[in-house]
Amino acid sequence: MGRLDGKVALVTGGASGIGRAAALLFAHEGARVLVATGRNEAAARATVAAIEDAGGAAAWALGNVARPSDAERLVTTTVATFGRVDVLLNSAGVTIPGSLLHDVDAAAWQHVLAVDLTGTFLMMKYCIPAMLDGGGGAIVNVSSVLALAGVPGCAAYAAAKAGLIGLTRTAAIEYAQRGIRVNVLLPGFVWTPMHAVADPAAADPSGAPSGEYAAFVASQVEPIGRWGTPEEVAASALFLAADESSFVTGSTLAVDGGLLAR
């Protein structure tokens, strides 16, 4: 018996990294999954194929979460394909090459805020009515330890991810009595393709962490001293998506190997 049997999950950023790992795990636990991707069509197809190979049900859709019409269409596509939506994992995110705040390009700032913060808002805005129609649901937003801990060079990303905490808490309060729980995950340093932005030399972000940048980060990530994996974050997303966390709402949960405990 799966922990998400009978449920439908919409996963943004589902083509790679944390979103992909969560899509595979949710499907393994019985959910039918809509894999949403902004531009990564081939990888989204591959995620769906992997789910189907394992005996699960999935479909994929292209959409830029920062655009209201796209966000709305991702929700209507999910409902049209699978009849309902019970779980929304907002994993879509972008970052920009690190630079000090006074060098951050204003348009690049807008882009990060548009995808990482406004995109999650828009997905929630259009998904919540569908969840209310179905009697409730669980929303899991993927923030970052950078929402709470300052790291040089990450102004836009940190601001967007910190915004997700306030967004999560507000939504948790607004919909608690109507069957929708909203929680936020704070992953630590997790080896995903996003890190290729920070380190173009990270040739194969889908493989094991390698290269100077990976070694440097691992040496700095106290106390656990290693990168996290997308699967480790997906396991916590599953906990927050499933009924075993039915009394948890408005909570923040870091999956960071103790980084924020220091």
- State which of residues 99, 109, 111, 231 lies at the interface with another protein (CB under 8 A): 231
Q: Alpha carbon 208 to chain centroid distance?
A: 21
Q: Does the protein bind another protein through residue 129 (CB under 8 A)?
A: no
Q: How many CB atoms lie within 10 A of CB 163?
A: 18
Q: Is 238 in the site for another protein (CB under 8 A)?
A: yes
| Binding flag, residue 1, another protein (CB under 8 A) | no
What is the rounded distance in angstroms from the CA atom of residue 88 to the CA atom of residue 70? 15
- Site of tokens 């990450």: 154
- Is residue 111 involved in binding another protein (CB under 8 A)? no
Q: Which stretch binds another protein (CB under 8 A): 24-32, 33-41, 67-75, 111-119?
A: 24-32
Active site residue 157: yes
Q: Which amino acid is at 35?
A: V
Reduced to 3 states, what is the DSSP secondary structure of residue 189?
coil
Tell me whether residue 21 or residue 71 sits nearer to another protein (CB atom).
21
Question: 11 is written with which tokens?
Answer: 């996963």
Rounded Cα distance, 186 and 189, in Å: 10
Determine, following the binding rule CB under 8 A, whether residue 249 of this chain makes contact with another protein.
yes
Name the region of 257 (left: φ>0; alpha: ψ -120 to 50; beta: rest).
left
> Which token pair is 62?
């292209």
Told to check if 251 binds another protein by CB under 8 A, we report: yes
The residue (of 80 and 173) whose beta carbon lies closer to another protein is 173
How far apart are alpha carbons 60 and 11 in whole angstroms?
Answer: 10
- Rule CB under 8 A: say whether 257 interacts with another protein: yes
Nearest to 197 by CA among 163, 162, 154: 154
Draw the binding track, 178-217, toward another protein (x: CB under 8 A; -: no contact).
Answer: ----------x-----------------x-----------
Should residue 161 be labelled a site residue for another protein when binding is judged by CB under 8 A?
no
Interface with another protein includes 49 (CB under 8 A)? no
Strand stretches in the chain, DSSP E: 8-12, 32-37, 58-62, 87-90, 137-142, 180-187, 252-255
CB of residue 230 to another protein, shortest distance in Å: 9
Piece in contact with another protein (CB under 8 A), picked from 90-98, 103-111, 135-143, 246-254: 246-254
The residues annotated with a catalytic role in the active site are 157
Residues that bind another protein (CB under 8 A): 3, 21, 24-25, 28, 50, 54, 168-169, 172-173, 176-177, 188, 206, 222-225, 228-229, 231-233, 235-236, 238-239, 242-251, 253-258, 260-262
